[in-house]
Amino acid sequence: MDSLSRRRFLKITGASIAAATAVTSLNSVVKGAKTIEEKNGSVVKGIQKIPTYCDLCFWKCGAIAYVDNGKLWKIEGNPIDPLSNGRLCPRGTGGVGASFDNERLKTPLIRKSVRGEDQWVKATWDEALDLIANKMKKIKTNYGPESLAFFSHGIGGNFLKHTFKAYGTNNITAPSFAQCRGPREIGFELTFGDVVGSPERTDIKNTKCLVLLGSHLGENMHNTQVQEFADAVGAGATVIVVDPRFSVAASKAKHYLPIKPGTDIALLLSWMNVLVTEGLYDKDYVEKYGFGFEQFAAEIQEYTPEWAYTRTGIEPAVIRETAREMGKNKPATLVHPGRHATWYGDDAQRARSVALLNALLGSWGRKGGFYTPYKFGLPGYPYPEYPKPEREPADNPGKKYPFAEGELLSTGLREATITGNPYPIKGWFVYATNLMQALPNQQETIKAIQNLDLLVVVDVVPSEIAGWADVILPEATYLERYDDISDSPFKEGFIALRQPAIDPPHDQKPNWWIAKKLADKLGLSNYFPWKNVEEYLDTRLKSAGLSLNEFKKTGIIKRPPKPIYFEDGVQPFFWTQSGKIEFYSLKLKEHGFDPVPKFTAPEEPPAGFFRLLYGRSPVHTFSKTQTNPILNDMMSENEVWVNADIAGRYGVKNGQYIKLKNSDGVISNKVKVKVTERIRTDCVYMVHGFGQTSIRNRKTYLKGASDAQLVTKYKMDPLMGGTGMNVNFVTFEMEV
């Protein structure tokens, strides 16, 4: 995918803004902000309000931490932050609990028995980092620097990433690509030449017709999106929800389509068929910006609503009516691209179908559809150049997945660790991602770990992956540390500061300190020319005519507004091969894939089995917030949703504990049954992240069931190596 550089778009916008000098800085909002230096060890009397940004998920909402007589009290949204608009989501509001958690990691730990037995001796930072540095040096000497892989999640990984690039590895990955939004980004990039990005460039606030496919906003608590969703619902927008489960979003919908799991592409193709057949698409837009429309139109001719009915279970009349609703409201119709998109292994083509539907509606680049985001464009730190790795990354040997570029496949690095192909991976350094729940098939992860000479985990709590480590490094929570500056692409360009509100309670350290100290021990001190993180941040800010001292007071600095819609003067540009929106993809054809998406029926559950679906709770992020005492109080275990008729047939009662057994014979922990009318009869559902097995987290130990444990099968996306995970079937085990 050489001609489609995912980075290019943002690079160009960044360069154009860097020239601008006007910066709006709203000082008045946060009164009495005090810095840590001013605190200087002694307790500050009264209430301090310290601006920072949230770390409970990847949304990075601006926040204000309240410290009452030196003790952390609460956290609220920063009113000048465009992401939160002064209102955090429940996880963000409960974020202070992370700091209070008495089961946090307190000191560095070194493994004292076999891997996975969770037996430790306490160590000093010097002891722990010396051990790590020595093993890293050995790996470099024996196998080359690329034989060390870095897995991370979130902006907190930035400084460590820098250390690993300086060390010489390019095997730097996050499960957020191949286990989450990767297929979506590739499907959109193949169509529009650009990714959806994070935060999603969805203009939900101004949409007149919102279409959600499996995306359960409201349960999935991406703050700005949920705020805008409520605004759209309040303003009377037509909501169309496609989901095997009657989600919260479905309860707000005018049309709820209870689709058969895994058949979304069929529905999308037939919607496009109706729009084209009935002439409801945006003809001017398609003519102006589209490429290959005729071939596309010819191909989708056969996908009538009647054809789709037999595949999806959605009545032809409903398909026509909803397509007409979309057509009527175009271009302010938004077919939401979702986020966690790794479902069935055909996910990039499903995402491409979503992209094509939006293209027909003319919503890309338009108000109420997809806006054109821009960044603040803060220059990076002028670091010395990294050594050039001699070998290609190990995640995708022979470019088996031709469209997996830009980000690495975490499962690909795991595979390389198991097989030694294309070269051995002998060290894993894991930052803030619980790989036991993030990657499918836990046995493969355990198998890979057996081949390692070094496994280091940096985390706040003793997560499940930490239990397998050789060395565990305890990190300060986001409320106790500086991090890199957030510069997200959004409706307005702005930067946000993370700064400590309190000190870490024990021997925990911020990741910047760990990264710098480790670099020192590796003989890479020249890559950290800054003395401390304040100096790093101030250097970056000074390069844009700003200062850390000012930034500390507001936590947010904005650029003046710019147009974000084509109709307001944004120049449409498509980084595709044709320079246009590709209804027919030459690139896909060239690689032997369908240039226009085709539908393939998913595998049916065997008799007595149900498809296992999973999703999100508004009070938890992945498997990382369950130990937070406040959020644990909101939801301490998950439930398995079982259709009421099925429950009756199997004699399963509401509130009863059962176990689930998948078709590979893996049996879950016991889980409470929610008997409900709100789900189809061919699937069951649970919230992800529970049933954790780290015995040192008493609050989460074996509470509920782990969907990740039951995801032993996964289906690879042939385009980009995503792991479709909704392909497992479970049955009920009554003996608990």
Partner 1 sequence: MSRFGMAIDTVRCVGCMDCVVACKTENKVPEGFNRDWITEEAFGNFPNIQLEIRTERCNHCEEAPCVDCCPTGASHYHDTGGVVLVNHNECIGCKACVASCPYDARFIHPDGYADKCTFCIHRVEKGEDPACVSVCPTHCMTFGDLDDPNSKISKLVKSRKWHVLKPEAGTKPHIYYLT
Q: Binding residue for partner 1 (CB under 8 A) from 570, 634, 652, 666?
A: 634
Contact between 389 and partner 1 by CB under 8 A: the answer reads no
Interacting span for partner 1 (CB under 8 A) from 197-205, 222-230, 511-519, 572-580: 222-230
d(CA 307, CA 304) in angstroms, rounded, equals: 5
Shortest Å distance, C-beta 665 to partner 1: 30
Q: Binding residue for partner 1 (CB under 8 A) from 30, 67, 83, 89?
A: 89
Q: Binding residue for partner 1 (CB under 8 A) from 8, 87, 106, 324?
A: 87
Interacting span for partner 1 (CB under 8 A) from 91-99, 182-190, 408-416, 484-492: 91-99
Reading the block at residue 91, the tokens are 């996880």
Shortest Å distance, C-beta 248 to partner 1: 5
- Cα separations in angstroms, 658 against 314, 681, 691, 734, 736: 32, 18, 13, 5, 6
Q: Binding residue for partner 1 (CB under 8 A) from 52, 349, 625, 643?
A: 643
Return the SS3 of 16.
helix
Task: Read off the amino acid at residue 32.
Answer: G
Name which of 77 and 193 has its Cβ closer to partner 1.
Answer: 77
Name which of 103 and 520 has its Cβ closer to partner 1.
Answer: 103
Contact between 26 and partner 1 by CB under 8 A: the answer reads no
Name which of 91 and 426 has its Cβ closer to partner 1.
Answer: 91
d(CA 476, CA 106) in angstroms, rounded, equals: 9
Shortest Å distance, C-beta 96 to partner 1: 6
Q: Which residues of 698-727 are buried (b: 16+ CB within 10 A; e: fewer)?
A: ebbeebbbbbbbbbbbbbbbbbbbbbbbbb
Contact between 90 and partner 1 by CB under 8 A: the answer reads yes
d(CA 699, CA 426) in angstroms, rounded, equals: 33
Neighbours of 71 (CB within 10 A): 10
Interacting span for partner 1 (CB under 8 A) from 82-90, 267-275, 401-409, 607-615: 82-90
Reading the block at residue 250, the tokens are 């479905």
d(CA 117, CA 559) in angstroms, rounded, equals: 51
Contact between 227 and partner 1 by CB under 8 A: the answer reads yes
DSSP letter assigned to residue 628: -
Contact between 633 and partner 1 by CB under 8 A: the answer reads yes
Ordered strands of the 471-474 beta sheet: 120-122, 109-111, 471-474, 454-459, 427-431, 148-152, 172-173
Q: What does the angle CA 226 – CA 568 – CA 487 come to, to the nearest 5 degrees?
A: 50
Return the SS3 of 715.
strand
Q: Binding residue for partner 1 (CB under 8 A) from 70, 168, 258, 397?
A: 258
Contact pattern for partner 1 over residues 527 through 546, marking x by CB under 8 A:
--------------------
**Continuous segment of H or E residues that includes residue 415:** helix 410-419
Q: Are 468 and 23 in contact (CB under 8 A)?
A: no
Residue with token string 């992401």: 83
Contact between 94 and partner 1 by CB under 8 A: the answer reads yes
Name which of 163 and 617 has its Cβ closer to partner 1.
Answer: 617
Shortest Å distance, C-beta 75 to partner 1: 7
Strands (DSSP E) contained in 639-717 are 639-643, 657-662, 671-676, 683-687, 715-716
Contact between 210 and partner 1 by CB under 8 A: the answer reads no
Name which of 223 and 349 has its Cβ closer to partner 1.
Answer: 223
d(CA 18, CA 376) in angstroms, rounded, equals: 8
Q: What does the angle CA 386 – CA 389 – CA 392 come to, to the nearest 5 degrees?
A: 135
Shortest Å distance, C-beta 45 to partner 1: 19
597: CB partners within 8 A, 6+ apart: 265, 268, 269, 349, 350, 352, 353, 356
Q: Are 696 and 118 in contact (CB under 8 A)?
A: yes
Shortest Å distance, C-beta 677 to partner 1: 5
Q: Binding residue for partner 1 (CB under 8 A) from 22, 43, 141, 234?
A: 234
Contact between 56 and partner 1 by CB under 8 A: the answer reads no
Contact between 326 and partner 1 by CB under 8 A: the answer reads no
- Cα separations in angstroms, 298 against 407, 462, 584: 34, 56, 11
Q: How far is CA 150 from the centre of its chain?
A: 17
Shortest Å distance, C-beta 169 to partner 1: 40
Residue with token string 């085990």: 733
Contact between 251 and partner 1 by CB under 8 A: the answer reads yes
Contact between 629 and partner 1 by CB under 8 A: the answer reads yes
Neighbours of 247 (CB within 10 A): 24
Name which of 75 and 129 has its Cβ closer to partner 1.
Answer: 75
Contact between 30 and partner 1 by CB under 8 A: the answer reads no
d(CA 659, CA 667) in angstroms, rounded, equals: 7
Name which of 604 and 633 has its Cβ closer to partner 1.
Answer: 633
Contact between 67 and partner 1 by CB under 8 A: the answer reads no
Task: Read off the amino acid at residue 502.
Answer: I
Shortest Å distance, C-beta 640 to partner 1: 16
**CA terminus-to-terminus distance, the chain:** 50
Name which of 56 and 544 has its Cβ closer to partner 1.
Answer: 56
DSSP letter for each residue of 22-77: --B---SSSTT---HHHHTTSPPPSEEEEEEE--SSSS--EEEEEEETTEEEEEEE
Contact between 226 and partner 1 by CB under 8 A: the answer reads yes
Name which of 86 and 422 has its Cβ closer to partner 1.
Answer: 86
Contact between 447 and partner 1 by CB under 8 A: the answer reads no
Contact between 501 and partner 1 by CB under 8 A: the answer reads no
Shortest Å distance, C-beta 215 to partner 1: 13
Neighbours of 328 (CB within 10 A): 12
Q: Binding residue for partner 1 (CB under 8 A) from 7, 11, 74, 400?
A: 74
Contact between 405 and partner 1 by CB under 8 A: the answer reads no
Provide Rg for the chain, Cα atoms: 25
Q: Binding residue for partner 1 (CB under 8 A) from 88, 149, 341, 501?
A: 88
Reading the block at residue 681, the tokens are 């009869």
Contact between 229 and partner 1 by CB under 8 A: the answer reads yes
Contact between 612 and partner 1 by CB under 8 A: the answer reads no
Q: Binding residue for partner 1 (CB under 8 A) from 345, 555, 618, 724?
A: 618
Chain residues 663-692 in contact with partner 1, contact rule CB under 8 A: 676-680
State the helix-helix crossing angle for 347-361 and 316-329, rounded to 10 degrees.
Answer: 50
Largest CA distance in the chain: 74
Interacting span for partner 1 (CB under 8 A) from 14-22, 140-148, 231-239, 526-534: 231-239
Reading the block at residue 138, the tokens are 């050995």
Shortest Å distance, C-beta 676 to partner 1: 7
Contact between 488 and partner 1 by CB under 8 A: the answer reads no
- Cα separations in angstroms, 416 against 144, 285, 390: 15, 45, 17
Contact between 73 and partner 1 by CB under 8 A: the answer reads yes
Q: Binding residue for partner 1 (CB under 8 A) from 221, 286, 495, 684?
A: 221
Q: What does the angle CA 622 – CA 628 – CA 630 come to, to the nearest 5 degrees?
A: 115
Interacting span for partner 1 (CB under 8 A) from 230-238, 532-540, 591-599, 655-663: 230-238
Interacting span for partner 1 (CB under 8 A) from 41-49, 297-305, 600-608, 626-634: 626-634
For partner 1, the binding residues (CB under 8 A) are: 73-77, 87-90, 93-94, 96, 217-219, 221, 223, 226-227, 229-231, 233-234, 246, 248-252, 256, 258, 618-619, 629-631, 633-634, 643-644, 676-680
